[in-house]
A and B are shown apart, each in its own frame.
Chain A
Amino acid sequence: MYCHDRFGLGHTTRTLRIASYLAENLADCSVLVLTDLSIIGRFKFPQNVDYVHLPGITQNVHPQYRAGTLNLEHENTIRIRRKITQSAAKTFQPNLFVIERDPFGLQSEMQRMLSFVREELPETKVIWGLPDVVGEPESVVSDWKREGVYQSLERFCDEIWVYGTKEIFDQAQEYQIPEPLANRVHYTGYLRSPGAANHRLKKDLGRMNPKKPFVLITAGSGAEGYALIDTYLRFLERAGDAVAFQSLIVTGPMMRSREKLMLKHRAQKLPEVIFHRFSKNILQYVKYATVVVCTGGYNTLCEILSYRKPAILVPFLTPPREHLLRARIFEKLGLVRLLYPTELAPKRIAEMVSTEVSNGSASLLRPRINIPLDGLENIAARIESLGGYKASLVRQAAS
């Protein structure tokens, strides 16, 4: 299970969304993204945004299975990554250094990187970006304590940006962020969908019957999505022609080839099912879906909120249970339905999906709370108020 952890997609997707917005909306802004996502080459970058790819890491895996990582001691790979990050920081001379990742795991890599930035680039503001929820408070707090996250944040970070709201989840309080540090937490709100056009999307929609509802099933990055898609297919296989809607299934690019092939063969035998492994614009399918079935990652949730779609969340349970916590919160708010993976069965999913499809948008409850989706605007505004006065100094030093 451990190697799956490397196969996420969400952090880079979110980073790219923010980077694109900033590059397009802030004057004279350029963004350099550092990422170790192996399939980064399949994403599109707007003008003024470029990226550096770092060598990937997988630990505790037999070397034979480590496709795409070097046959090196773990520390050596870490060292190369650090050198790249430092080189980029030193020469790019950023005004802002935004870290978009969970603040635990590879703690030492982060600490060294940040202390380097603090020493070499004293004018650079360091921001730690976090999704609306990081995980269940109990495990997050104990992880953060053990890993010294509070001290790192205290020492190295100028601000902490939470891409959610205090009303929905008060991170400072839930994660026991101590007083002086808690004042540096800024809630930006959720990130509205940019809603770009996409040729593949048009083609897929062209293959569908526009009068018939369509259900989107997405398993995030796909590394752990087999059970969800397998169950959904079993439901379709049993239902036969009785299904009153079309399905579009996206496994996610990180699903193992063997798993994907097995699912694909089954999907191809079914009527009105479109099957993809990866689409760089997967999130935009949400706009056209009648109902969304997903694992409850942050980015998919933002789309669901942007387009007010009925959604069924089947969250992962891996600690610190970020997905589960998020699903619970939004179920309580009446915005999504929650299906525990332990209760995942063809019959259950059939009932839930059929109910949501027949209710259509009528199934959307009035949310008990207003969900702000202006996160990107708030981030840009925050940067303007932070950066303006020091920008000139930094660039002079660089040139």
Chain B
Amino acid sequence: MQKNFLTTGVDLTEGASNGRLLTRSLADDRPIAHTLIDAELSCDDPVKVLIYSQDGFGLGHLRRNLNICLQIKKLHPNASILIIADSPKAPFFKLPPQCDFIKIPTIVKIDTGVWRPDRLPMHYQELLGIRAEIIQNVALSFRPHIFLVDHMPHGALGELAKPLEMIKRYCPETKIILGLRDILGAPEVIRKQWAKEGAFEAAEIYYDKICIYGSEDLFSVTTEYQFPNAVAAKTQYCGYVCREDIKTTNSALPHLFPEEREKFVLVTGGGGADASYFMDKFIEAVRLMSPQATFNALVSTGPFMHQEQYQLLHRKAKGLPVVVARIGQDNIRFLRRADLVISMAGYNTVSEIMRFRKNAIIIPRPGPSAEQTMRTRIMTERGLFSSIHPRDLTAEKFAELVSQRLQNNGGMNETMVPDLNGASQAAKLMLSVLDDR
């Protein structure tokens, strides 16, 4: 037996006069005005974009979609963008103007295609019902010009099936676009999952365009995942998505280290939930190299690392030229200054490493999905960076590779670097789909 309480903590105290005006204007419940259906789209018309960006606790998808938002805003400064997320930390990154988010009750991924409610003690089917109902009603009342769905054509556990059906029926003018990152996971796993859950079918029926935020040279999504022809025909490779317009300020970084050293190493693990393992090994490696170490290192743990692990790293780093800190949005400022970046193979970090041509050592997340190990293997083969598989990671090996990479300073095979303007390409593509009407 469950008792449920719905509470609104709506933190608005609007002026009385506006409330009254509203009563009148809402009284006739007139349908939402959308003026752009017949008109040719010009840059002044407010484009409405709805983004489905959900992946349990990860923040990578939010960062990627925000990078695309920024490019949409550049092309259409008045665009309204609404992001549907379910990370309890959402939006985490600073939203551009006229961009807002909706957070739906959270589910967390346990394994490929296996999810459970994060907080609410109910059957996942019941929670999915709540989520689907919200998504569908948001879509129908927002009436977006573009509905961008991130990496799951039918949503988590197929929760988008009904909303997509309703959008097709009641908002036929909405262009539905699927965004896929360079590599989703092991081909046989993804093929099986997509076939089983009806994702290929969803991609075929509902989507106008499929943007792949990667490079066909590195990994052919359509071939590897055996997209049916009708689906493959909709795909377009956009290149890797990064923050494209970063102000080149020379604002000084905060003073972290007691003494200046020749080199600066950044160690980062995305959200940080499972980064303590290699960070711990790194600190051991520095202990082996100390006192000959010629560098200062910042270990940036991310917002999701457990406090105990964080404190353990802190203690281990005592007496070494290593600072352990939780750094959120500012990571990129340190990345740009770094002589060597040591990180996992998350999409965004890898893209930023390529964008700034950083000397890097990658330690991929071993599982459950093969995404990071595949990305690492492919890019290491192309000479974009060095890598160590976590199962082979020892302090000695780590120390050796760190000194080697610091000595030969760089070594990214320039000819192999893929296109990195995925955000602006994707934004352009989406907006051009609108013009095709």
Q: Residues of A at under 8 Å CB distance from B?
A: 2, 5-6, 8-12, 14-16, 18-19, 22, 26, 28-37, 40-42, 45-57, 59-60, 63-76, 78-80, 83-102, 104-109, 111-113, 124, 143, 146-147, 199, 383, 387, 391-392, 394-395, 398-399
Contacts and interface: CB of A to CB of B under 8 A. Distances in A.
Interface residue tally on B, bucketed by range: 35 or more
Contact of B7 (A18, A91, A108, A394): A18
A48 B11 contact: no
A48 B126 CA distance: 14
A95 B102 contact: no
A45 B12 CA distance: 21
Given A67-B95, A104-B16, A199-B307, A30 B2 contact: yes
Nearest to A125: B5
B6 A71 contact: no
Interface of B: 1-16, 18-20, 22-23, 25-26, 32-33, 46, 48, 78-82, 87-92, 95-106, 117-122, 126, 129-130, 133-134, 136-138, 140-142, 307
A111 B24 CA distance: 13
Nearest to B10: A101
B97 A106 contact: no
Contacts of A395: 1-2
Given A30-B120, A35-B10, A71 B78 contact: yes
Contacts of A2: 15
Given A76-B33, A95-B4, 6 more contacts: A28-B1, A30-B122, A55-B102, A63-B97, A71-B80, A98-B7
A32 B82 contact: no
Contacts of B96: 67
Given A78-B26, A147-B16, A50 B119 contact: yes
Contacts of A391: 1-3
Contact of A108 (B23, B88, B129, B134): B23
A65 B97 CA distance: 7
B138 A92 contact: no
Contact of B8 (A9, A40, A93, A99): A99
Contacts of B15: 2, 5, 105
The 3 closest A-B pairs by CB, nearest first: A15-B9, A105-B14, A53-B103
Nearest to A74: B22
Contact of A87 (B79, B81, B130): B130
Contacts of B1: 28, 391-392, 395
16 contacts: A2-B15, A35-B11, A53-B103, A56-B100, A64-B97, A74-B22, A78-B26, A80-B142, A87-B136, A94-B5, A98-B7, A101-B8, A101-B12, A105-B15, A108-B23, A399-B126
Nearest to A59: B18
A88 B10 contact: no
Nearest to A12: B9
Given A68-B95, A73-B33, A32 B14 contact: no
Nearest to A51: B103
Determine chain B's interface SS by DSSP, over half rule.
mixed
B141 A34 contact: no
Contact of B120 (A48, A63, A67, A104): A48
A93 B120 CA distance: 13
Contacts, number: 276
A266 to B, nearest CB: 19
Contacts of B102: 52-55, 84
Contacts of B79: 71
B8 A34 contact: yes
A75 B25 contact: yes
A35 B6 contact: no
Contacts of A19: 5, 7
Contacts of B129: 91
B23 A45 contact: no
B32 A101 contact: no
A91 B130 contact: yes
A32 B307 contact: no
B22 A75 contact: yes
A58 B100 CA distance: 12
B81 to A, nearest CB: 8
Contacts of B48: 72
B8 A83 contact: no
Contacts of A63: 78, 97-98
A78 B10 CA distance: 12
A394 B1 CA distance: 10
Contact of A68 (B16, B89, B99, B120): B99
Contacts of B10: 11, 34-36, 54, 100-101, 106
Contact of A101 (B11, B23, B33): B11
Nearest to B307: A199
A101 B9 contact: yes
Given A15-B9, A90-B133, A100-B7, A52 B19 contact: no
A79 B90 CA distance: 22
Contacts of B140: 83
Given A68-B99, A387-B3, A52 B104 contact: yes
B105 A78 contact: no
Contacts of B307: 199
Nearest to B97: A67
Given A35-B11, A76-B32, A106 B19 contact: yes
A92 B4 contact: yes
B22 A108 contact: yes
Contacts of A96: 3-6
Contacts of A101: 8-13
B19 A108 contact: yes
B179 to A, nearest CB: 21
Nearest to B98: A71
Contacts of B133: 87-88, 90-91
B301 to A, nearest CB: 13
B11 to A, nearest CB: 5
A55 B8 contact: no
A30 B121 contact: yes
Given A73-B33, A75-B25, A86-B137, A92 B6 contact: yes
A180 B137 CA distance: 37
A350 to B, nearest CB: 33
B43 to A, nearest CB: 13
Contacts of B32: 75-76, 79
Contacts of A65: 97
Contacts of A80: 82, 138, 141-142
A78 B22 contact: yes
